[in-house]
Amino acid sequence: MKNRNLSKLAALLLALIMVLSVVVACGDSSEGKPTSQTSDLDNKDYTIDDSDPEDPKIPPVDYGGYEFSFICQPYRDNTAYPVNYMVSEGEGESPLLDAVYRRNTLLEEKYNVTFNQIQTTDLTTSVRTQVLSGSTEFDVIVGRCKYLATFAREGLLLDLLSIDRFNMNNSYWDQNAKEQLLIGDKLYFTNCDFNTQEIAFVVYFNKQVIKDYNLKSPYEYLENNEWTLDNWAELTKAVSKDMNGDGRMGELDQFGTLYEHHNPRMFLYGIGVRVTTNDATGYPELTLMNDGDKVNTAYEKLKSVFSDKTISFDIVQNLSPDNTHGYADRFDYARSLFMQDLFLFHYEGTNILHQFSNMEHEFGIIPFPKYDSNQEGYYSVYPTNCSMVALPSCLSGDELERTATIFEDMNYYSKNMVKKYWYETIITRRYTRDEESQKYLDVIKDGRVYDLGLYYNFGSIFSNCIDVDCSGNNLSTSFARVKKAVEADIKVIYRDFGR
């Protein structure tokens, strides 16, 4: 463990309110790209509001140079699902890591600790082995939702609501996650402001394609409460062009939508459908087909789009794993084609925003469409492959108190020094380039949903029903096949986790 001498906390806090200088990538400002000129990005103020009622006001504690560690999957630059917001070597790495560095430096001084990020290619084995041994080299698990659900099933995670130090009612703990991820009265993993770089699945659209085809902008539909499945389908079906004139539609032609086979379920969440919905006791009731007519009607509309290979380009079906053209994988390569105006729509999380930073023409970000104009709001599901946080069940006593104390404070400072900066500055100004996208990112964030049925894959409903290619899937039939297994699995989970 590395020891650090405590310096004066007051001096550090004073330094934190000084101007942050960030290095902005050069570009053509006429295209709305980042430039090297001074802007409000170069003048970030990290002043902490002393009157913030959510400040936990935890006094400094000397933990003797303890190394506080996070375990996670390896980070790769320019890929989806990044987890690169835990540690930083110093200022100048990137705007986000500059913010992480300042947050961590404050906490290192306050608690006399250092921060470490343990990256493992086999998170499941690493966590399981260490927790079952009764001692871990990590304090906090940062893992994909589906992995955390597996750990919870195996009794490897603490109930976060049982930890007195955590004030789960504060906004830096995601309140939607807190409510929707309960099983009984227990919460084994959740989302929070420490967990930067992901908001939810979103719809990306290419403004240049809208212009070239003289189509009505999704923004206009949104402003008139007309952003519905029908209007999305109409726009998508309007875009199809054999760009190279070879008589067949391939990867270098123009399509209405770039997608992966599982994308239709994102649209189902958008119309208010959930695999499970908790009742008043925290029991996850199976609700996928509660309104079967609505779900089947919506699913057929989705099939009419995604089954038409003249307007829809499936990344997995059309690109082999080695068809990367120098990109990290075929998915990144496909997104490079979106940047070249070959697709109108694409569906992913906000974690891939940085991949569009050098796009010549503008893109927009919008929520998934409603079922119809009578639907009250817009909903976007949190991706199962993106990370949330959890604590190992072997923590107890003084070790648990130390971990909870540091992480509660880190979560609070993440709200003010990292998440706020990432969302308000990096996402909404550096990448999205327009006021409409900034506005609808707020709508998406407010309508974010979490589904236990998705993350726990009760009775294999995820893999055998809602995650299959919709072009050849009958949703009602698939649901009927797994319904009993799903209900039985939920009963077992509730028995083990519930009251």
Residue 496 pLDDT = 82
| Complete domains list, the chain, with CATH | 9-198+385-432 (3.40.190.10), 201-381+457-497 (3.40.190.10)
Q: What angle in degrees, to the nearest 10, is found between the helix axes of 475-497 and 292-306?
A: 120
Average pLDDT over residues 12-17: 38
**The model's pTM:** 0.86
- Give the pairing of strands 387-390 and 276-278: unpaired
Q: pLDDT digit string (tens) for 60-69?
A: 999 999 999 9
Tell me how crowded residue 379 is: count the other CB atoms within 10 A of its CB: 24
Of the candidates 401, 391, 409, the residue with the CA atom closest to the CA atom of residue 69: 391
- For the cut 80, the answer to whether the pLDDT of residue 50 exceeds it is no
Most confident listed range (30-34, 48-52, 340-344) = 340-344
Average pLDDT over residues 184-205: 92
User: Are the C-beta atoms of residues 334 and 307 closer than 8 Å to each other?
Assistant: no
| End-to-end alpha carbon distance in the chain | 40
Q: Where are the beta strands (DSSP E) in 120-225?
A: 140-144, 201-206
Q: pLDDT digit string (tens) for 321-349?
A: 999 999 989 999 999 999 999 999 999 98
Dihedral angle sign, alpha carbons of residues 183, 184, 187, 193: positive
Residue 45 pLDDT = 52
- For the cut 80, the answer to whether the pLDDT of residue 153 exceeds it is yes
User: Are the C-beta atoms of residues 140 and 113 closer than 8 Å to each other?
Assistant: no
Count Cα neighbours of 157 within 13 Å in the Cβ-side half-sphere.
Answer: 28
Residue 9 pLDDT = 42
In the block, which residue shows the tokens 């008043």? 280
List the alpha helices (DSSP H) in 46-153.
Answer: 95-111, 123-133, 145-153
Most confident listed range (7-11, 284-288, 431-435) = 284-288
State how far the Cα of 248 lies from the Cα of 59, in Å rounded to an integer: 67
User: Are the C-beta atoms of residues 305 and 256 closer than 8 Å to each other?
Assistant: yes
Least confident among 101-115, 353-367, 387-401, 482-496: 353-367
Average pLDDT over residues 288-316: 96
Alpha-carbon distance values, 143 to 95, 151, 205 (Å): 23, 10, 29
- Give the pairing of strands 276-278 and 113-119: unpaired
β-sheet bridge partners, residue 276 = 286
CA 461 to chain centre: 22
- 3-state DSSP assignment of residue 74: coil
State how far the Cα of 214 lies from the Cα of 116, in Å rounded to an integer: 52
Least confident among 76-85, 394-403, 483-492: 76-85
- 3-state DSSP assignment of residue 366: strand
Dihedral angle sign, alpha carbons of residues 325, 328, 330, 333: negative
State how far the Cα of 215 lies from the Cα of 223, in Å rounded to an integer: 15
Cα dihedral: 446, 412, 429, 313 (round 10):
-50
Q: Where are the beta strands (DSSP E) in 311-391?
A: 312-314, 343-349, 363-366, 380-381, 387-390
